[in-house]
């Protein structure tokens, strides 16, 4: 059972207080998108062994969604950041780069 | 025979005899006995039959690693199968029976399998039972189910109680041997919070049996002193009878405390599950001795060398008068010495090594014990009991040199550190060639939330077999753990340990090394699952080269013991067969729990009324007092029907439908979800959430809406009321309020975070009553306070005001097709309002109705129900609900998905009404077969029933269903399965069975 820290209310707590919401930084495609774009949005996931960006909700706490950077292999969390962003903040990226040089995630690295 | 010795037994209290029963036989033991030691003291060597060949099996070990001696324990509400006798403490009145035999333990018909062993090789079940295919279901499977299986499942409800316990600690030490105690003491001296667990009820592990010295005194004394010191420290939690069951992410640990297993008459919970967060964990879990693989090593009387020693030293029980010791290391010599010291005979020590034995061998020789170097056991003689051994050269092929009469064999193939807890959360292992063992690789420990290592192995569990090294390692690991947990280790040295020097082990995976097939077929690797050396070799030949595949194919290391004795020997044989090094083969995955824990402990207090909170409406008390037959809907309990005396549930439902259609019905609709969506962008937001256009709804009006997910599938429906320019109230399904609230929050927080909208769940703030039927208006007019005429509040409108003195919000919506008002009042007024409606309604024939009546009435009207007509694969278009999908909107959740080719296909199953030709009710969920078979040889289908009821209004069965191109086939008759091999014919009709033009609801 993981330990997470909610960047909204600052509470550090057990996984039972949170709810996982799949991969982060998905770009929504709606009407007008091609079949390939829409398929990518609905079904294609990075599913990485290693550096992973994911959505969490502090469901039994402040109720806010937030994002997390985690190593799925070692379970290390590199950091937690608000959901209202398209890319992780630089300090978290730097922390990841220190341990995983050359990592990448869809459009950014 | 095995018997109690007149002397010895450091754990038994001979002043306190205890009586127990095994297979109906009364036996005697002492306080401090385990069931294993007591059975052996009563010469009950035979305790069970093996899984596949039903071979006689005796006790092999003295601890949690025991593979054979599993029994049914207790009776009635205390019955539990698969209990290991070695970890069962004896108590007065204990009742045990053996399992996996028929008709009796002594004579088992299934034992004939052993003579057909050559026809039952690895993977036998996979190969044999493939063809002919129908035989599997009708012949093979029933037979295998009859004869397979270890214990039987309990029949009665568990009469014990269990609890969970939350615990936080800086340093958790698992294991109460000398390593664990030394580590705990060292860590505790730093002042940090320290917790130490020992799975048995006695401390000290092997050292106290083997006679090591610590700080110049016997280990036993040092252990007693240390336990006493730890018990006196405020920052230390110390528990015996508590096992570290599993290590999980970020320092989460499950502990399993057996509180009253040894004294079942005592009050209180039987087991306690410790749910622990530990900053640092030290696993001081010791090691398990490995068996040797020689022919007949499963015959009762062949035992692990250290276990034999335990029975003599700890419980004063001898396994036999004459014990042959067979070994590849020095430790087993301790057994020979202990036996001779106890006055027993050791005819020979058979040592597979050609040389290299240390001072223990000299000590054994000095006691007059014959030592045979470079020899092995060709085969053990005997059936239900060891009668002798045949000796051969270890380097040879098993030619017998000599036979030695004996009634017990003590075997030792070396020691494997218990690395389970280290490995549970990702700790890796290295192969230690010199000691022939896997041990933890300290550079690849399990890591925590910051990437920091949080588990360290200490002592024997870390690959240290000598007392001095064990203590030094334990203290060093404890100092490191204290530092890592943010504390300051105290300066000081480890206690000084001393024991006998030992010569090097020489790995022996097969005895003799050139054993022919006849011997390999009798050389057991896994006693519990009947896997032999020959089986693993066969698996390798047949291509099961991965250790995980070989495990599943042969069943090596499966079931309750998870290969604690067999794994290393098995993978060594596999490595040899594949001609590769042992570390290249690797181990199978270690998964928690370490040994099985009770289901009761996992459940804890969560049973009966504490299993799950039940949500109750303000009117729940009235329902209970008036015959409600409740059904669960989400966490709610809703009345299915209100049953009157002399009525069946079905009668009640029929009466409720008729009365609501003719007079007046009341439905407690409080469970309906009520979400308030508010803000300048609320309309725009709801346009995205619903398929309909909600932004154009006028304040004071209601609109029925559908919600889909991004896959296009329906997820919820309900009536939306616009309260004012900025505010909407969205009704959801009863189970859906929390889910849809979270769904809205997700989109608002993560996608459209710049939209100005708040959502709150007001479900429990209101009690809601549907007042339904031709007399609905009359009762409200009688209560007075609001003009409820059609002119004042038309169908699909709402109004705030007063009804009978209650503040009320009145919605004119109908799920029944009748004139209907849904009235919300503050939850605190709910019961009073309900009572007022019942009193005022008496002259109008009022009757409350339940959910089944609601269902029948909505089905008569052809209204869909989320979860009946939908199942997560149904889009609104399948339900002919294009009318609820806005054509004007550019976007809504699910719109793009509904444009995908498969969704837009004309071949989809669509909703229709179904009328049986004979008027009967089609079974729920019935399928309509179509001509021909599909690619899998299964019958094609063309539709299925989604809702089906007997309609008292129409006096016949009605149904809705999804049928291939259904709406284009009106009037066609198709068949539905009845589940008993017969079919029922039904005509495809319009889904609205009652009041097609909606005149009744619109008055």
Q: How far apart are CA B528 and CA B298, in angstroms?
A: 10
Whether A65 sits inside 8 A of B890 (CB atoms) is: no
Structural domain total, chain B: 7
Query: Is the Cβ pair B711, A31 closer than 8 Å?
Result: no
Return the percentage of chain B with pLDDT > 90, whole number. Answer: 90
pLDDT at B560: 84
Interface test with A, best of B252, B711, B750 (most A CBs within 10 A): B750
User: How distant, in Å, are the alpha carbons of A74, B256, B852, B855, B970 from that of B950?
Assistant: 58, 53, 11, 11, 21
Residues B404 and B421 in one domain: no
Write out the two tokens for B104: 């009796």
How many structural domains comprise chain A?
Answer: 1
Contact criterion met (CB < 8 Å) for B890 and A31: yes
Q: Which residue of B710, B750, B895 is in closest CB contact with A83?
A: B750
From chain B, pick out residues whose CB is under 8 angstroms from the CB of A77.
449-450
For residue B325, give the H/E element and its range: strand B323-327
A36 lies within 8 A of chain B by CB? no
The domain boundary residue, chosen from B413, B446, B479: B413
The whole-model pTM stands at 0.91
pLDDT tens per residue, range B834-850: 999 999 999 999 999 99
CA A69 – CA B836 distance, rounded (Å): 57
Average pLDDT, stretch B461-470? 97
CATH label of the domain that carries residue A64: 3.30.2270.10
Tokens matching residue B437: 């063992």
- Flag whether B50 is in a domain: yes
Sheet containing B846-848: give its strands across.
B798-803, B806-811, B820-826, B766-772, B664-668, B846-848
Cβ of A76 within 8 Å of Cβ of B890? The answer is no
Q: Is B851 helix (H, G, I), strand (E, B) or coil?
A: helix
Is residue B280 domain-shared with residue B308, that is, in the same domain?
Answer: no
- List residues of chain B with CB under 8 Å from any CB of chain A: 248-252, 277, 426, 447-451, 710-711, 742, 745-746, 749-751, 753, 890-891, 895-897, 899-900
Q: What is the pLDDT of residue B356?
A: 87
Tokens of B264: 């079942």
Min Cα separation A84/chain B (Å): 6
Co-location of B402 and B422 in the same domain = no
What pLDDT is attached to residue B145? 55
Task: Show residues of chain B in contact with A76, CB under 8 Å.
Answer: 447-451
User: Given an 8 Å threshold on Cβ–Cβ distance, is B746 in contact with A2?
Assistant: no
- For B742, residues 6+ apart whose C-beta sits below 8 A from its C-beta are A57, A59
Higher pLDDT, B536 or B129: B536
Rounded to the nearest angstrom, the minimum Cα separation between B434 and chain A is 30
State the nearest Cα–Cα gap between B575 and chain A, in angstroms.
28
Chain-chain contact of A75 with B250 (C-beta, under 8 angstroms): yes
CATH number at residue B22: 3.10.20.440
Q: What is the CATH number of the domain that holds B551?
A: 1.10.10
A33 vs B750: CB contact, 8 Å cut-off?
no
pLDDT in tens, B144-173: 555 555 678 889 999 999 999 999 999 999
**Residue B448 tokens, joined:** 């925590």
Task: Give the mean model confidence (pLDDT) for residues B930-934.
Answer: 95
Instruction: Please give the pLDDT value at position B118.
Output: 63
Q: Closest Cα to residue B422, out of B551, B589, B546?
A: B589
pLDDT of residue B1: 84
In this model, does residue B373 exceed pLDDT 90? yes
CB neighbours of residue B24 within 10 Å:
7
Domain presence at residue B608: no
Q: With an 8 Å Cβ cutoff, are B745 and A63 in contact?
A: yes
pLDDT at residue B153, as a whole number: 84
Asked if residue B8 is part of any domain, the answer here is yes
Domain end point (choices B722, B746, B763): B763
Instruction: Tell me how many residue pairs between chain A and chain B have CB atoms under 8 A apart.
Output: 72
User: Are A33 and B896 a contacting pair at CB < 8 A?
Assistant: yes
Average of per-residue pLDDT across B915-935: 96
Together in a domain, B166 and B283: yes
Res. B99 pLDDT band, cuts 50 70 90: confident
Say if residue B510's pLDDT is above 80.
yes
Residue B27 in this model has a pLDDT that exceeds 80: yes
Rounded to an integer, the average pLDDT of B447-457 is 96
User: Which of B726, B743, B763 is the C-terminal boundary of a domain?
Assistant: B763
Inter-chain residue contact A30 with B426, CB threshold 8 Å: no
Would you state the pLDDT for residue B1003?
Answer: 85
Q: Is residue B631 part of a domain?
A: no
Residue B636 has pLDDT above 90, yes or no: yes
Give the domain extent around B723.
Answer: 673-763
CB-CB neighbors (< 8 A) of A14 in chain B: 252, 277
| Domain membership flag for residue B819 | yes
pLDDT interval class at B106 (50, 70, 90): confident
| Domain identity same for B429 and B528 | no
| Residue A13 at interface with chain B, using a CB cutoff of 8 Å | no
Range scoring the smallest mean pLDDT among A104-108, B273-277, B423-427, B938-942 = A104-108
Residue A20's closest chain B neighbor by CA? B746
User: Is the pLDDT confidence value at A37 over 60?
Assistant: yes
- Which has the closest alpha carbon to B699: B673, B726, B674? B726
Q: Does residue B871 sit within a domain?
A: no
Cβ contact, residue pair B249, A71, below 8 Å: no
Q: What percent of chain B has pLDDT over 70?
A: 95
What is the rounded average pLDDT for all residues in chain B? 94
- CB-based contact, A31 to chain B, within 8 Å: yes
pLDDT tens profile B209-251: 999 999 999 999 999 999 999 999 999 999 999 999 999 999 9
- Give the ipTM: 0.98
With contact defined as beta carbons under 8 Å apart, do B503 and B361 qualify? yes
Average pLDDT (B367-387) is: 96
Whether residue B88 contacts residue B73, with contact meaning beta carbons closer than 8 Å, is answered with yes
CB-CB neighbours of B14 under 10 Å: 12
**Interface touch A84/B749, C-beta < 8 Å:** yes
pLDDT at B22: 96
B432 shares its domain with B448? yes
**Disruptive mutation site among A22, A50, A74, A85 for chain B (greatest number of B CBs within 10 Å):** A74
Tell me what the mean pLDDT of segment B715-741 comes to. 96
pLDDT at B556 over 60: yes
Q: Cβ contact (<8 Å) for A57 and B746?
A: yes
Give the chain A residue nearest B453 (alpha carbons).
A74
Tens-digit pLDDT profile for residues B35-90? 999 999 999 999 988 877 888 899 999 999 999 999 999 999 999 999 999 999 99
Alpha helices in B164-250 (DSSP H): 178-188, 207-210, 219-231
Residue B303 resides in a domain? yes
Asked if B535 and B431 sit in the same domain, the reply is no
B283 and B428 housed in the same domain: yes
Q: What is the pLDDT of residue B660?
A: 98
Q: Does a structural domain hold residue B514? A: no
Report long-range pairs for B744-750 (Cβ below 8 Å, ≥24 apart).
B744/B675, B744/B677, B744/B685, B744/B689, B745/A57, B745/A63, B745/A65, B746/A21, B746/A57, B746/A65, B747/B685, B747/B688, B747/B689, B747/B893, B748/B685, B749/A64, B749/A65, B749/A83, B749/A84, B750/A55, B750/A65, B750/A83, B750/A84
**Cα torsion at B926, B932, B935, B936 (round to 10°)?**
50
C-alpha distance from A69 to closest chain B C-alpha (Å): 11
How high is the pLDDT of residue B1001?
Answer: 86
Confidence of residue B722 (pLDDT cuts 50, 70, 90): very high
Q: What is the pLDDT of residues B484-496, one digit of tens each?
A: 999 999 998 999 9
Cα separation, B456 vs B474, in Å, equals 10
d(CA B988, CA B928): 12
Q: Do A65 and B899 touch (CB under 8 A)?
A: no
Inter-chain touch B250–A84, beta carbons under 8 Å: no
- Using 50, 70 and 90 to split pLDDT, how confident is the model at B1002? confident
Same domain, B549 and B569: yes
Q: Residue B531 pLDDT more than 70?
A: yes
Q: What is the mean pLDDT of residues B695-707?
A: 98
Residue B254's DSSP bridge partners are B246, B275
- Distance, in Å, from the CA atom of B754 to the CA atom of B139, rounded to the nearest integer, reads 66
Q: Angle at CA B953, nearest 5°, toward B951 and B957? A: 25
Taking the Cβ of residue A97 and every Cβ of chain B, the question of whether any pair is shorter than 8 Å is answered with no
pLDDT in tens, B775-804: 999 999 999 999 999 999 999 999 999 999
A71: domain range?
Answer: 3-108
**pLDDT surpasses 90 at B890:** yes
- Torsions phi, psi of B190, nearest 5? -80, -10
B746:A21 CB<8 A: yes
Question: Virtual CA dihedral for B9, B10, B14, B19, nearest 10 degrees?
Answer: -70
Closest residue on chain A to B426 (Cα): A74
CA distance B591 to B594: 7
- Give the CB-side neighbour count of residue B864, counting CA atoms within 13 A: 27
B486 and B557: one domain?
no
CB-nearest partner of A31 from B250, B277, B891: B891
For A57, nearest residue in chain B (alpha carbons): B746
Q: Using the predicted structure, report yes or no on whether residue B824 has a pLDDT greater than 60.
A: yes
Other C-beta atoms lying within 10 Å of the C-beta of residue B496: 13
- Where residue B363 sits, what CATH number does that domain have? 3.50.50.60
Q: What is the pLDDT of residue B709?
A: 98
Same domain, B422 and B274: yes
Of B960, B984, B958, B952, give the one whose Cα is nearest residue B650.
Answer: B952
CB contact under 8 A, A77 and B450: yes
Residues 53-82 in A contacting B (C-alpha not used; CB under 8 Å) = 55, 57, 59, 63-65, 71, 74-77
């Amino acid at each position: 059972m993981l330990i997470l820290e909610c960047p909204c209310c600052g509470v550090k707590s057990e996984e039972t207080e949170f709810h996982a919401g799949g991969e982060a930084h998905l770009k929504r495609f709606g009407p007008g998108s091609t079949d390939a774009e829409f398929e990518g949005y609905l079904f294609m996931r990075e599913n990485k062994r290693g550096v992973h960006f994911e959505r969490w909700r502090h469901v039994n706490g402040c109720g806010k969604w937030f994002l997390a950077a985690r190593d799925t292999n070692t379970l290390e969390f590199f950091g937690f950041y608000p959901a209202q962003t398209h890319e992780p903040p630089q300090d978290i990226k730097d922390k990841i780069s220190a341990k995983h040089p050359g990592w990448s995630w869809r459009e950014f690295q | 025979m095995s018997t109690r010795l007149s002397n010895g037994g450091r754990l038994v209290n001979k002043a306190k005899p205890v009586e127990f029963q095994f297979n109906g036989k009364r036996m005697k033991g002492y306080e401090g006995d385990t069931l294993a030691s007591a059975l052996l003291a009563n010469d009950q060597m035979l305790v069970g039959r093996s899984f596949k060949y039903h071979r006689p099996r005796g006790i092999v070990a003295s601890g949690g690693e025991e593979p054979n001696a599993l029994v049914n324990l207790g009776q009635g509400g205390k019955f539990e199968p698969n209990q290991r006798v070695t970890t069962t403490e004896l108590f007065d009145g204990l009742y045990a029976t053996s399992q996996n035999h028929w008709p009796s333990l002594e004579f088992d018909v299934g034992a004939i399998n052993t003579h057909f062993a050559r026809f039952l090789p690895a993977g036998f079940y996979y190969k044999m039972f493939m063809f002919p295919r129908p035989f599997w279901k009708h012949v093979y499977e029933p037979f295998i189910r009859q004869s397979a299986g270890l214990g039987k499942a309990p029949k009665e409800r568990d009469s014990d109680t269990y609890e969970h316990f939350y615990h936080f600690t800086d340093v958790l030490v698992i294991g109460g041997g000398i390593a664990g105690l030394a580590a705990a003491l060292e860590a505790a001296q730093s002042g940090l919070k320290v917790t130490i667990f020992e799975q048995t009820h006695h401390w000290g592990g092997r050292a106290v049996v083997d006679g090591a010295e610590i700080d110049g005194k016997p280990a036993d004394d040092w252990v007693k002193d240390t336990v006493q010191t730890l018990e006196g420290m405020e920052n230390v939690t110390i528990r015996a009878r508590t096992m570290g069951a599993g290590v999980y992410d970020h320092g989460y640990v499950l502990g399993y405390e057996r509180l009253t297993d040894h004294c079942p008459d005592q009050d209180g919970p039987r087991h306690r599950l410790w749910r622990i967060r530990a900053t640092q964990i030290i696993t001081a879990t010791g090691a398990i001795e490995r068996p040797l693989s020689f022919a007949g090593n499963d015959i009762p009387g062949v035992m692990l060398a250290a276990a034999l020693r335990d029975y003599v030293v700890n419980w004063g029980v001898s396994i036999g008068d004459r014990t042959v010791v067979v070994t590849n290391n020095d430790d087993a010599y301790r057994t020979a010495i202990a036996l001779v010291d106890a006055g027993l005979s050791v005819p020979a020590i058979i040592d597979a090594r050609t040389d290299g034995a240390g001072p223990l061998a000299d000590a054994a020789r000095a006691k007059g014990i014959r030592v045979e170097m470079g020899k092995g056991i060709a085969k053990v003689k005997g059936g239900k009991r060891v009668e002798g051994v045949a000796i051969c050269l270890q380097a040879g092929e098993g030619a017998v040199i000599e036979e030695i009469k004996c009634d017990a064999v003590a075997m030792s193939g070396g020691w494997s550190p218990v690395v389970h807890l280290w490995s549970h959360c990702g700790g890796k292992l290295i192969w230690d060639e010199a000691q022939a063992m896997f041990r933890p690789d300290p550079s690849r420990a399990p890591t925590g939330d910051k990437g920091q290592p949080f588990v360290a192995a200490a002592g024997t569990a870390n690959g240290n077999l000598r007392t001095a090294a064990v203590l030094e390692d334990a203290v060093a690991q404890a100092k490191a753990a204290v530092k890592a947990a943010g504390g300051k280790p105290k300066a000081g040295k480890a206690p000084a340990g001393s024991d006998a020097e030992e010569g090097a082990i020489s790995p022996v995976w097969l005895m003799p090394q050139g054993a022919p097939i006849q011997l390999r077929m009798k050389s057991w690797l896994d006693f519990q699952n009947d896997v032999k050396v020959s089986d693993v070799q066969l698996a390798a030949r047949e291509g099961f080269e991965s250790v995980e595949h070989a495990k599943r194919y042969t069943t090596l290391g499966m079931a309750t013991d998870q290969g604690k004795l067999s794994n290393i020997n098995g993978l060594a044989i596999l490595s040899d067969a594949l001609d590769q090094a042992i570390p290249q083969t690797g181990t199978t995955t270690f998964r928690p729990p370490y040994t099985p824990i009770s289901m009761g402990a996992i459940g804890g207090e969560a049973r009966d009324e504490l299993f799950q909170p039940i949500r109750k409406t303000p009117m729940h008390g009235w329902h209970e007092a008036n015959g409600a037959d409740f059904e669960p809907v989400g966490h709610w309990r809703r009345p299915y029907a209100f049953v009157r005396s002399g009525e069946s549930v079905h009668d009640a439902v029929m009466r409720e439908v008729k009365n609501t259609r003719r007079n007046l019905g009341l439905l407690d609709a409080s469970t309906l979800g009520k979400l308030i969506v508010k803000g300048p962008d609320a309309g725009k937001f709801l346009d995205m959430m619903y398929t309909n256009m909600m932004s154009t709804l006028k304040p004071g009006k209601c609109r029925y809406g559908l919600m889909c997910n991004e896959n296009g599938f329906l997820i919820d429906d309900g009536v939306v009321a616009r309260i004012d320019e900025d505010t909407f109230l969205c009704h959801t399904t009863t189970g859906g309020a929390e889910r849809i609230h979270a769904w809205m929050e997700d989109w608002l927080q993560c996608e459209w975070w710049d939209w100005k909208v708040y959502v709150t769940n007001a479900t429990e703030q209101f009690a809601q009553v549907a007042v339904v039927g031709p007399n609905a208006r009359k009762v409200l007019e009688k209560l007075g306070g609001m003009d409820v005429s059609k002119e004042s509040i038309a169908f699909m409108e709402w109004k705030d005001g007063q009804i009978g003195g209650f503040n009320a919000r009145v919605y004119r919506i109908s799920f029944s097709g009748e004139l209907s008002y849904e009235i919300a009042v503050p939850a605190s007024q709910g019961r009073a309002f309900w009572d007022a409606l019942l009193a005022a309604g008496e002259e109008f024939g009022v009757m409350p109705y339940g959910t089944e009546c609601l269902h029948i009435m909505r089905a008569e009207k052809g209204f869909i129900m989320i979860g009946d007509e939908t199942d997560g694969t149904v889009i609104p278009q399948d339900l002919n609900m294009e009318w609820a999908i806005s054509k004007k909107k550019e976007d809504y959740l699910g719109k793009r998905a509904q444009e995908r080719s498969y969704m837009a296909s004309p071949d989809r199953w669509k909703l229709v009404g179904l009328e049986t030709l004979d008027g009967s009710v089609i079974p729920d969920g019935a399928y309509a077969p179509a001509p021909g078979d599909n690619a899998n040889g299964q019958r094609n289908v063309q539709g299925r029933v989604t809702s089906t009821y007997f309609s008292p209004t129409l006096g016949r069965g009605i149904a809705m269903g999804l049928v291939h191109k259904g709406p284009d086939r009106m009037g066609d008759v198709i068949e539905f399965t009845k589940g008993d091999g017969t079919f029922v014919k039904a005509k495809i009709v319009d889904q609205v069975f009652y009041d097609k033009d909606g005149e009744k609801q619109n008055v």
